[in-house]
Chains A and B, each alone.
Chain A
């Protein structure tokens, strides 16, 4: 084992080299330390978007909305992010942004708690933190831009189906999984709304496609077999509505059974253009990013602090008020139909 005898000396040298390397980083630190925090300036409008991951059409759209806003008010826009939606990768980026001394971070959290400390460290260094799309724990950010309330999401879907079937007849719901918290909350609110405002509409069945394309497709087929008088389907999940639309498109029910719910324009474009689906809803991610950027600006310039009742102006979207827990509501969900679907790409 000749190799072994040699390794002692190499090891010693190596240990020295590691020390040198570590000291080098440490020392450089001392020399350059004053350069680090450029965030002291009250008008530091360098705002960076940190989506859940890059290469995601939804976030491409929202971040583009942010870029539009930042160009309007003359700030510096940047977008960074991990290639996979993991919280630890986001922490590295938040740490980096803290070091760079940006004015504000607009982030969609991959984990409500895991990125908390990193965000708070950023805030301690004067960085303003706005969450959008997916919130962190309340104490880790200044403001959360809420895309829509559960009530709003439930109401628009009921309104759309009522309009499409003439406010009477049998409808069914195609949901995601049976224990999905948000889905079930929306379904309960839809039931309340139906009972209160649409007495002639009967909800005959709720089925679960498990957010799986094939399962949702099969459940749609089964639903139409079981309920021959069905006039409409609500699918409050993007996977479900696309699968249901695919089934309807090639079936005898095309044009006779209405379908609406929550979907994305790219998934639903074909079905809207060929008349399988008249209208569906979701929020407009571009507006979401646009509003988040203006909220960051208002925080950086000290116009708001995130207190309840704080008011700020968000360009062409108008004026907004900070609500409880530092949230700002974008507004009612956005309805996509044949007239406007061409304007969106996500």
Chain B
């Protein structure tokens, strides 16, 4: 990879390096690497894993990753501001239980779902309040609410589950668009993706999100409403998690307090794999989507190849660590190359101070 850069004038380094051809600019980004890995895994699995290349694989795969895809949208924005929301999976559980108990109590599912979304928004607002008004670190706050919301969810329903949902809704959650094999829920996801992508990448609000992640002080001095922006993002995170909770409940036809336990880690892993910096200020939604799909495809292919779940965890974990390490290495290489005298030979350690 570095050899292809030989000769590139790189006395200065910026994100907008138009001196390189388009394919280099795209492929040599963090997101480009995830796409390449995704395509390699898809092609590799189709060729080598029996039954992977069947239409049903894509349906199952997309249904499995839908909650992760949904929650990854607001999570990306939250992490770009340099914050984190660990309570999302607990909000999924809480909204699932809200939906279940209210439906069991006789409320029509539409109304119960609306209340569940409100509960999710309130859960997000509590996070946002503690972080922006009280001024506590989001890591500490959402570790707390992770336990709090899960506790509420499990406490409300105990170890029982509500399962008497009307078939119309449970079927809808699993339905496919015509004969394409693509789950209908993808329509909802694509709409949300477009909205989030426009907000993040094409509006002043989105630019504010990046600015906050790079430097909250500088952002504040530039007139960006740092606290208000963060508050909105946490409310969004809670709301979308509740939507994911409703989908989760209907897909499995089972409202349980322990639904989606541990999902927050899958979401954060996918977001980081997709090139969002955990320190904030850097990232893009398309990379995150590729990150989610990469983990999903890999898991599905490995399961089809009869690889045990422990090994799957080891492989996806290693991938994540490698992706984080490679970012640091790439960043170091760029810095090294950008220094005078470090122009051509990328790993010239002599230039490193």
CA–CA, A11 to B193, complex, Å? Answer: 12
- Do A29 and B60 touch (CB < 8 A)? no
A32 located at the interface, meaning its Cβ lies under 8 Å from any Cβ of chain B in the complex: yes
CA–CA, A95 to B51, complex, Å? Answer: 11
CB contact between A32 and one of B54, B58, B308 (< 8 Å): that residue: B54
CB contact between B303 and one of A3, A21, A80 (< 8 Å): that residue: A80
Residues of B within 8 A of A111 (CB): 161, 252, 254, 256
A14 CB, min distance to chain B CBs, angstroms: 3
Given contacts A21-B35, A29-B53, A95-B60, contact A113 B286 (CB under 8 A): no
Given contacts A18-B286, A80-B303, A88-B252, contact A2 B39 (CB under 8 A): no
A336 CB, min distance to chain B CBs, angstroms: 28
B284 located at the interface, meaning its Cβ lies under 8 Å from any Cβ of chain A in the complex: yes
- Do A15 and B309 touch (CB < 8 A)? no
- Do A99 and B39 touch (CB < 8 A)? no
- Do B26 and A13 touch (CB < 8 A)? yes
CB contact between A54 and one of B211, B306, B310 (< 8 Å): that residue: B310
- Do A8 and B201 touch (CB < 8 A)? yes
A232 located at the interface, meaning its Cβ lies under 8 Å from any Cβ of chain B in the complex: no
Chain A 96-120 per-residue mask, 1 if CB under 8 angstroms from chain B, else 0: 1011110000000001111111000
- Do A92 and B60 touch (CB < 8 A)? yes
B56 located at the interface, meaning its Cβ lies under 8 Å from any Cβ of chain A in the complex: yes
Given contacts A1-B211, A2-B16, A54-B310, contact A113 B163 (CB under 8 A): yes
Residues of A within 8 A of B43 (CB): 24
CB contact between B201 and one of A2, A4, A30, A93 (< 8 Å): that residue: A4
Chain A 14-27 per-residue mask, 1 if CB under 8 angstroms from chain B, else 0: 11011011101110
Residues of A within 8 A of B284 (CB): 7, 10-11, 14
Residues of B within 8 A of A36 (CB): 51, 54, 56
- Do B303 and A93 touch (CB < 8 A)? yes
Residues of B within 8 A of A25 (CB): 42, 46, 53, 57-58, 61
B38 CB, min distance to chain A CBs, angstroms: 6
- Do A10 and B64 touch (CB < 8 A)? no
CA–CA, A301 to B259, complex, Å? Answer: 37
A104 CB, min distance to chain B CBs, angstroms: 16
Interface residues of B, dominant DSSP:
helix
Report the nearest A residue to B38, measured CB to CB: A21
- Do A113 and B254 touch (CB < 8 A)? yes
Report the nearest B residue to A15, measured CB to CB: B286
CA–CA, A33 to B52, complex, Å? Answer: 10
Chain A 72-91 per-residue mask, 1 if CB under 8 angstroms from chain B, else 0: 00000010111110111101
- Do A117 and B253 touch (CB < 8 A)? yes
Given contacts A11-B201, A14-B290, A88-B252, contact A24 B42 (CB under 8 A): yes
Report the nearest A residue to B282, measured CB to CB: A3
- Do A6 and B15 touch (CB < 8 A)? yes
Chain B 169-197 per-residue mask, 1 if CB under 8 angstroms from chain A, else 0: 01000100000110000000000000001
A316 located at the interface, meaning its Cβ lies under 8 Å from any Cβ of chain B in the complex: no
Report the nearest A residue to B47, measured CB to CB: A28
Given contacts A18-B290, A24-B42, A54-B308, contact A114 B29 (CB under 8 A): no
Report the nearest A residue to B301, measured CB to CB: A96
Report the nearest A residue to B174, measured CB to CB: A117
Given contacts A24-B42, A24-B43, A96-B300, contact A7 B58 (CB under 8 A): no
CA–CA, A17 to B259, complex, Å? Answer: 33
CB contact between A87 and one of B25, B254, B299 (< 8 Å): that residue: B254
CA–CA, A91 to B252, complex, Å? Answer: 9
B225 located at the interface, meaning its Cβ lies under 8 Å from any Cβ of chain A in the complex: no
Q: Which of B232-256 contact A (CB under 8 A)?
A: 248, 252-254, 256
Chain B 43-84 per-residue mask, 1 if CB under 8 angstroms from chain A, else 0: 100100011111111101100100000000000000000000
A145 CB, min distance to chain B CBs, angstroms: 22
Residues of A within 8 A of B46 (CB): 24-25, 28, 32
CA–CA, A117 to B306, complex, Å? Answer: 22
CB contact between B286 and one of A10, A78, A81 (< 8 Å): that residue: A10
CB contact between B15 and one of A2, A24, A80 (< 8 Å): that residue: A2
B287 located at the interface, meaning its Cβ lies under 8 Å from any Cβ of chain A in the complex: yes
Chain B 19-40 per-residue mask, 1 if CB under 8 angstroms from chain A, else 0: 0001001100101000100110
B270 located at the interface, meaning its Cβ lies under 8 Å from any Cβ of chain A in the complex: no
CB contact between A99 and one of B57, B174, B259, B262 (< 8 Å): that residue: B57
A35 located at the interface, meaning its Cβ lies under 8 Å from any Cβ of chain B in the complex: yes
- Do A26 and B55 touch (CB < 8 A)? yes
CA–CA, A239 to B202, complex, Å? Answer: 59
Residues of B within 8 A of A35 (CB): 50-51, 53-54
Return the 4 tightest CB-CB contacts between A and B, nearest first. Answer: A14-B286, A28-B53, A29-B55, A32-B53
Sample of 19 more A-B contacts, CB < 8 Å, known A96-B300, A96-B303: A5-B16, A10-B286, A15-B286, A17-B39, A21-B38, A21-B293, A24-B42, A24-B43, A25-B58, A26-B55, A35-B51, A36-B56, A54-B310, A82-B309, A87-B256, A91-B252, A95-B64, A101-B51, A117-B170
A-B pairs with beta carbons under 8 Å apart, 7 shown: A18-B290, A54-B308, A86-B258, A92-B299, A93-B303, A99-B54, A115-B252
